Amino acid sequence: MLTRRDLFHIVPAGAAACLGCTSAALCAAQSVAPATSPPPAGGFGEKADMTWQQVFTFAYQGYARKMKKLAAQIGPEEFLQMLRKASSEATVEQVSSLLRLAPNRDLATFELWMKTQPVQRNALVYDVVEESSTTFEIHVSQCLWAKTFRAQDAADIGYATICHADFAATTTFHPKLKLTRTKTLMQGDDCCNHRWVMES
């Protein structure tokens, strides 16, 4: 069953939501403030019985359509450049704000989140390729973000919204944590090869 916190990680809010999105990791540690008054029975407080695929379709299908309309009006290259910049800037702001809730910013904390955070567990299928005190590398063979955007013929928008900001999120989490990636499922490759290294 999806919770409100799970949905917060998925619905596009100007921040990346893929592997490097440390904001989602930090959100998981964040306490959710109670509403000032309880929602009416059968209304906002009603639990949504949806699969992860249904939630992603709901969250991103309309978003992709709107972004494609904007791209047609602005021009694809200029629009994608603007979207990449905006996604990275919004991610830096969000991660910087949420870092106040994270006492540890080491690689071990990052790895632990990757293995336990509900969205990552349910939206990604990956193998750990290398895991040490300084390096964490995974190869993602299935990604629900990539599947959802590519189904809308919007992989370029998906990459600009979701994948591109992974680099900004990583360095914001820790300035010495570096992400290297040469392939993504979003761009049609056979996997996403994320490699994080904590430099000395």
Tell me the fold of 4-29+51-198: Muramoyl-pentapeptide Carboxypeptidase; domain 2 (3.30.1380)
Q: Where are the alpha helices (DSSP H) in 32-104?
A: 52-74, 76-98
Reported as a pLDDT band with limits 50, 70 and 90, residue 118 is: confident
Q: Give the integer Cα–Cα distance in Å for 165 and 157.
A: 12
Q: CA-to-CA distance for 25 and 170, rounded, in angstroms?
A: 11
Task: Give residue 29's pLDDT band: very low, low, confident or very high (50, 70, 90).
Answer: very low
- Entry pTM: 0.79
Task: Output the six-digit token pair for 71.
Answer: 């791209």
The domain segmentation of the chain, as residue ranges, is 4-29+51-198
Burial degree of 41 (CB within 10 A; 0-12, 13-18, 19+): exposed
- Angle CA 172–134–121, to nearest 5: 70
Instruction: Give the pLDDT score at 41.
Output: 65
> DSSP secondary-structure letter at 165?
T
Q: Which amino acid is at 54?
A: Q
Q: What is the pLDDT of residue 7?
A: 34
The answer to whether 119 touches 9, Cβ cutoff 8 Å, is yes
With a cut of 80, say whether residue 102 has pLDDT above it: no
Backbone φ, ψ for residue 138 (5° rounding):
-135, 150
Tokens for 6, please give them.
Answer: 């799970």
How confident is the model at residue 192, as a pLDDT?
98
Q: Report how far residue 37's alpha carbon sits from residue 34's, in angstroms, rounded to the nearest whole number.
A: 8
pLDDT at 38 (0 to 100): 66
- Percent of the chain whose predicted confidence (pLDDT) is above 90: 62
User: pLDDT, tens digit, for every residue of 136-188?
Assistant: 999 999 999 999 999 999 999 999 999 999 999 999 989 999 999 999 999 99
